[in-house]
Amino acid sequence: MATEKTDVVIVGMGAVGGILAAELGKAGMKVIGLERGPRLSTADFSGQDELRYFQRQDLRPNAKRQPVTWRASANAAAKPLPILNYGNQAGGGTVHYGAVSWRFHEDDFRVRSQTIQRYGSSAIPKDSSLIDWPLTYADLEPFYDRAEYELGVSGKAGNLEGRKIEGGNIFEAPRRREYPLPPLLADQSGLIFEEGAHKLGHHPFSTPRAILSQSYHGRPSCTYCGFCQAFGCHVGAKSSILVTKLPEADATGNFKLLTGTMCFRVNSDNSGRVTGVSYYGPDGSTNTIEAELVILATFIYDNTRLLLVSKTRKFPNGLANSSGQLGKHLMAHITPRVFATFEDRFVNIYMGPNAQKHSLDDFNADNFDHSGLKFIRGGQISVSPADLEGGPIGAAMSMNPPPGIPRWGAAYRDFLAKYFARYAAVIAQTENLPYADQTIDLDPTVRDQWGLPAPRLTYDWRRPNELARIEFLTGKLEQLAAAMGATRYWRSPMGAGAPGAHHEGGTRMGDNPKTSVVNRYGQSWDIPNLFIIGSSTFPTMSGFNPTLTIQALAYMSADAIVNRYKKNPGRLV
């Protein structure tokens, strides 16, 4: 059993951990990073094998060793989910994500007050725990800017300091300057999506992505090979934490990364402070790190689980959980899809970055009038391959054949043979509301490879507001498919309530210690030398992918720690 002392220990080296490690290391703080997976490099991603990376999800957590269970309601028995949609190596999900990089809208930070102001409080479902964020878009804008420029994001501004610009996302919140890199080239699916959207009077644009459209900071530009989502980038053009912040952290000389290590407890004393963490080493050994500052930067499952398993006499319901909010308000994107096939044209959708290639924002957030509709909020709409991955296994496994075509036999073979190069999927990604009874807790029976209780999700998106939102958006997808010139389009069946991609919640932030786990900086209200940072702190989720907002929050927390907390280690709010 080894014991080490350091200034800061960060658990999880993904989107958040890499940024904190680099920024705190630069400020002279000694940082140890714990990462349960390996540290891979760009050279490891030379063989883009669809079976390995997409079908068997080789860069994702192994569901056998790291199970996560789900049940639709508190009355049902939870069982392990077969596929886990988050990271499992240094760089976390940014290694194998589609790299879609949005700033949230201004109203995404004040959903409750925006809704009441425009539609009255009766528009909010009674069982929803909808709140505003304890910060505004303007507070976060400098850190969005920093994330885009330091990491490298390609896109076109649609709102420069209030000036709307056609061709960019005119619904975006005002930004101080252009993106650091021009938008990625549109592939054919993007072009027909744009044409169809224009016919309907919508405002399409090239999706902003953390993928280099030109060489930047010594890294080469994208080759348009199409292996992004589920794959590591073979040239390092994807601005993952692996090729951006981890090398910066290394260069500080103050950073040590321990891979293959599983943190199993946050240690605390009776004075109301945390003293460090305990972890299992790659060899199964039990080790301890004593640290002045502990930062939890894992995916939302482990941010919650670590606090629950670290309970003490002082915090019998989970460390830093005097509010009772720990593990509550789990949210996830749900993605209705419409598949479209074309008789008169090829689309060759396997070319180019494969996730949410071209987008429109007309039906997201409060960008449209919801009067008379039976729901609030909306979703982002984009064009993609069937499951955001361009290969033929992905297309066949993810695309249910249209009505009249069987799932096997000669007619199915002919369907794939004719339409693999002539199809596109139009996809909505919906903002779902927070509900206190959508939770993460500890599974009573299922344990992971380290003997820790598996995270258990209790979640069902099939609520009236969510069902109405999805039906509305699916109708928009069908209109788009028709306007794009599809000769046939059909819906993908919806699931039975399980959470989709991009989970949020569990350690929600707020401006009141009685109703939230952390403050705007991710600092625990109960324990000032404990920070919890990531999408687990999101009070609401937005219809946009969360990563850039996670990264902006990480920069904001790093800034507060370096410039304020380091001098005066106490509550920042």
Partner 1 sequence: MKRREFLTLPAAAIGGTLLYTLAGEPMRLQAQNGTVRVPLRFFTAEEAKVITAACARIFPSDASGPGATEANVVIYIDRQLAGPYGRDKYRYTKGPWVESYPEHGYQGKASPSETYREGLKMLGDFASLSPANQDAKLRSIEKSHFFQLLRQHTIEGMFCDPMHGGNAGLIGWQLVGYPGPQMSYRNEVDKHFGQPWRPKPASLEQIAGRPGKPWEDEKG
Residues that bind partner 1 (CB under 8 A): 46-52, 55-58, 62-64, 67, 70, 72, 76-77, 79-83, 185-188, 191, 222-227, 234, 344-346, 348, 350-352, 391-393, 396-397, 407-410, 412-414, 416-417, 420-421, 445-446, 495-498
> Does an H or E element contain 392, and which?
helix 392-398
The distance of closest approach from Cβ of residue 348 to partner 1 in the complex, given in angstroms and rounded to an integer, is 6
Choice between 52 and 118, CB closer to partner 1: 52
The neighbour count for residue 159, using CB atoms within 10 Å, is 18
Q: Which residues contact 288 (CB under 8 A, 6 or more apart)?
A: 1, 2, 3, 4, 267, 276, 277, 278, 279
- Of 187, 242, 188, the residue nearest 210 (C-alpha): 242
Q: Return the ∠ at Cα 164 (arms to 146 and 115), rounded to 5°.
A: 80
The distance of closest approach from Cβ of residue 214 to partner 1 in the complex, given in angstroms and rounded to an integer, is 12
d(CA 69, CA 61): 13
Choice between 72 and 572, CB closer to partner 1: 72
Choice between 15 and 225, CB closer to partner 1: 225
Which class for 118: exposed (0-12), middle (13-18), buried (19 or more C-beta within 10 A)? middle
The distance of closest approach from Cβ of residue 192 to partner 1 in the complex, given in angstroms and rounded to an integer, is 8
The distance of closest approach from Cβ of residue 62 to partner 1 in the complex, given in angstroms and rounded to an integer, is 7
The distance of closest approach from Cβ of residue 284 to partner 1 in the complex, given in angstroms and rounded to an integer, is 16
Choice between 374 and 462, CB closer to partner 1: 462
Choice between 186 and 330, CB closer to partner 1: 186
The distance of closest approach from Cβ of residue 436 to partner 1 in the complex, given in angstroms and rounded to an integer, is 22
Choice between 48 and 267, CB closer to partner 1: 48
Choice between 207 and 540, CB closer to partner 1: 207
d(CA 428, CA 486): 17
Choice between 416 and 572, CB closer to partner 1: 416
The neighbour count for residue 286, using CB atoms within 10 Å, is 12
Choice between 446 and 572, CB closer to partner 1: 446
The distance of closest approach from Cβ of residue 92 to partner 1 in the complex, given in angstroms and rounded to an integer, is 20
Cβ distance 342 to 432 under 8 Å?
A: no
- With the CA atoms of 482, 463, 79 and 277 taken in that order, what torsion angle do they form, in degrees rounded to the nearest 10? 100
The distance of closest approach from Cβ of residue 341 to partner 1 in the complex, given in angstroms and rounded to an integer, is 13
- Of 61, 64, 68, the residue nearest 498 (C-alpha): 68
Strands annotated E in 260-342: 262-268, 274-280, 286-296, 331-333, 337-341
The distance of closest approach from Cβ of residue 212 to partner 1 in the complex, given in angstroms and rounded to an integer, is 12
Q: Which residues contact 499 (CB under 8 A, 6 or more apart)?
A: 70, 330, 332, 457, 459, 461
